[in-house]
Structure 1
């Protein structure tokens, strides 16, 4: 029986890993589609609106299947749920704008400083202790970001700063998600993210509207919401099958996916400094993950 139980846990962990890989493939597909559309003249606000109106429609259908009563939509921490949604929507808009100027590899590499920022903010915001090893990894990660954006070099583009703020917003979004986990249903948080994005971006979408010229443009715009919703759904469910420590290294598949699609669709290959900076960010993120795993084992949680 013990062997069977271990096999079941292994199978569940493998399913969680597969879900994680598919979720980040969907996010990469979303970003690649957005870059293709925004370079083609569709405004980032319009694309962000479609991203969230589709997300909201699907979430409403899913959560409203059992009846449209306030008890199914209410939340005891509505302020934090809405603030979490604001950070996610703001992050999306900044990312979509940055994609008009930066390559997919650069935006994804900067975004992966978000877990490092989470670690830096976990002490003041969550009361968690951050030891010297993790502070070293945090400083190392920021050095990696500086290598990527090269703020004092000729290759610097101001849009890189948008990606940095995007990473900060994603970090704050992650911290709020961690705080609300177990208190608010994932479907409820999905619904509010879609609702906030739809309502906040509707006026900007109207002001910047450009009617898609082809069926492919329409199809990609409509699919943005589905890819975003399904990616977040798989990401949430993956953590129900495997612990975060097991799943975390697979998040870097996102960078691999975008490097491939960036070359296949746009002919972009990362330059030497982007590769070096991305490698530093990845190593620092993995160092933080390793220290957190060690701490879990030391305290009997691993």
Structure 2
């Protein structure tokens, strides 16, 4: 099987762009929900325009064949996990302030270490375990169980988002070995949209022109963000590109201040560096391990 060419600097740049686009999308999801649009409908309009946009673009270029895949069952599993992950990822900022929900999402590398140890039976050394402890210490500082402004269910959803992204990133990386980025994004949207469509009769309502603009903007940004995100995983290792995700905290803080006049409390400023440091340590350690591992072995073990 031919492996995609690794271009680490391009992967980092694509991930940086994806982070900015998706941070804007999450802000719009939160704002759109507050205008009265049902959550399930927001998710549908986040997904369905992607199908139309990609089909239209490829049809104009005569390249529909780029969507051909021999791994439809794998795409279906990715769609199920992706739809579940979207519920957590977009549910967290609706339940929590943007900065807090974004920071809890940074637990992805921490969960990736735990999953690799429990599911893949990978040997995890003391450096990464200490990083896991550091990361969850940051979570406790932010959540402040029993005395925080953060609702427990919101904290659970925020952590769930980090967990699901860890699962999905590994699967997208695997699909990127054989399928183009545009194909991975298309099949995710195409296979998940019917489930969201089935929910629409129970939640749909009349919308103002402004609400329609917000919904269609969510769809457009979601398509662009997913293409950039998937491309970054095609050209670079998960452990390498994931460090760019931390720039989302800058966007979240900025949007929280400009749109909701909210700034993170002291607990978030204390806990966030611990979570970010944990993720950075894990990413650095993964990078060092990949450098020491022969390519054939690394490919077999991923």
TM-score, length-scaled by structure 2: 0.85
Equivalent residue, structure 2, for 1:3: none
Deviation sequence 1:95-119 (CA, Å, 0-9, x none) = 3333222111111111110121112
Deviation sequence 1:202-239 (CA, Å, 0-9, x none) = 122331112222x3321121021211111121223345
Q: 1:122 to 1:178 in 2, by over 3 A?
A: farther
Query: What stretches of structure 1 of length at least 5 have no aligned partner?
Result: 1-11
Q: 1:57 to 1:253 in 2, by over 3 A?
A: same
Query: What stretches of structure 2 of length at least 5 have no aligned partner?
Result: 1-6
Distance 1:168 1:245 in 2: 15
Superposed, 1:1-302 pairs within 5 Å as 15-62=10-57, 66=62, 72-76=67-71, 78-157=72-151, 158-213=153-208, 215-239=209-233, 244=238, 246-299=240-293
What is the CA distance between 1:240 and its match in structure 2? Answer: 5.5
Distance 1:59 1:129 in 2: 41
Question: In 1, are the aligned partners of 2:175 and 2:184 still within 8 Å (CA)?
Answer: no
Q: 1:210 to 1:97 in 2, by over 3 A?
A: farther
Question: In 1, are the aligned partners of 2:257 and 2:263 still within 8 Å (CA)?
Answer: yes
What is the CA distance between 1:56 and its match in structure 2? Answer: 2.1
Aligned length: 289
Distance 1:174 1:246 in 2: 12
Question: In 2, are the aligned partners of 1:98 and 1:162 still within 8 Å (CA)?
Answer: yes
Deviation sequence 1:18-63 (CA, Å, 0-9, x none) = 3322211110110111111111211111101100111222233345
Q: 1:21 to 1:80 in 2, by over 3 A?
A: same
Q: 1:250 to 1:96 in 2, by over 3 A?
A: closer
TM-score, length-scaled by structure 1: 0.85
Task: Give the alignment's Cα RMSD to 1 decimal.
Answer: 2.6
Q: 1:15 to 1:171 in 2, by over 3 A?
A: closer
